[in-house]
Structure 1
C-alpha cells in the first residue's frame, strides 16, 4: 500500500513538523515513506486530496496543515470548510483522508501538537489512514 501526504505550507515550520510526525508513523506501520504534495494553505487540502484519491495510486491521504485563530471570522470558515471538504473526499471516493489540520488558538498550542508524543497530529493522521486502508483491504 502506498500513501500520500498533502500539506498546507502557510506555516512552514509547523508543516515540516507535521510531515515528520506522519512519516514516522507511516514507517512505524511498515508502509514506507509517503509521497508529499504541497499546497498553499489548509483551504486547498480538500482539492489536493481529491486529486490524489482520483489517481488510484494511494490507499490513503493524510491532510496536514494549521489554522491559528486570528481577529476575524476567517478562522471559522477555513476550519469548517476544510474539515467538510476532506470528509467529502473520503466519503465520495472511498479513499481514507485524515483531517490532520491543527485548529488552535495560538502558536504554543500548535507546537504542542506537532512535537511528537501523544498529541502529534501528523502521526495521528497517518495512523488513521493506515488503519482505515487496512480495514478496507480486509473487507475486499
Structure 2
C-alpha cells in the first residue's frame, strides 16, 4: 500500500495567516502565541506569518475567505474562543463560525486549520490555551503545515 501524508516541516517560502478573534482575547492571545511559536519551531520564518484580527469568532469565516481568495497565504489558521453563557448565543456563533470556516476552505482550496475553542467555561478555555490540555493554537498551526505539505504532494 502506498501512503501519502503531509510532513511537519515548513516548505521553503511558505506563508501562513493567523486569523484571530479579538473577543475573549485573554484566551485567543495565548492561542496566537502557541500557533506562532509552533510555526517558527517548524521552520516558518517570522516575516512569513501574518496576523489578521477580527472582532469576534463570528467574523472569522469572512476574513478567512478573503485571505484565501487573495492568495495571501498558503495556509490559514483560524483562532477564536466561544465560551458558553446563559443564552443560545454560544450555539449560533460556534455553529456558524464552524460552517463558514469549512465553506471557505472548500471553496478556496486553501488549507484552513480550525483553532476555535468551543467550551463551557473560562477554565476549560485556559486549559486548552496552554495549560493542562496543551495549546490548541499550536495544534491547529501544525495541522495547517501538514495539510499544506499534503496538498502539494497531491497536486504533483
Superposition TM-score, scaled by structure 2 size: 0.86
Is 1:41 matched up with 2:45?
no
Q: 1:21–1:116: 8 Å Cα contact kept in structure 2?
A: no
* Unpaired runs of at least 5, structure 2: 1-13
1:61-103 Cα shifts (integer Å, max 9, x gaps): 1000100000011100110110010000111110011110110
Where does residue 14 of structure 1 map in the other structure? 27
Is 1:31 matched up with 2:44?
yes
Aligned-residue offset at 1:119? 2.8
Work out the CA distance in 2 between the residues paired with 1:117 and 1:71.
26
> Secondary structure at the residue paired with 2:80?
strand
Residues 1:49 and 1:11: Cα distance change in structure 2 (over 3 Å) = same
Residues 1:43 and 1:134: Cα distance change in structure 2 (over 3 Å) = same
Aligned residues: 140
Q: 2:127–2:133: 8 Å Cα contact kept in structure 1?
A: no
CA RMSD of aligned residues (A): 1.2
The structure number with the bigger radius of gyration is: 2
* Unpaired runs of at least 5, structure 1: none
Q: 1:59–1:133: 8 Å Cα contact kept in structure 2?
A: yes
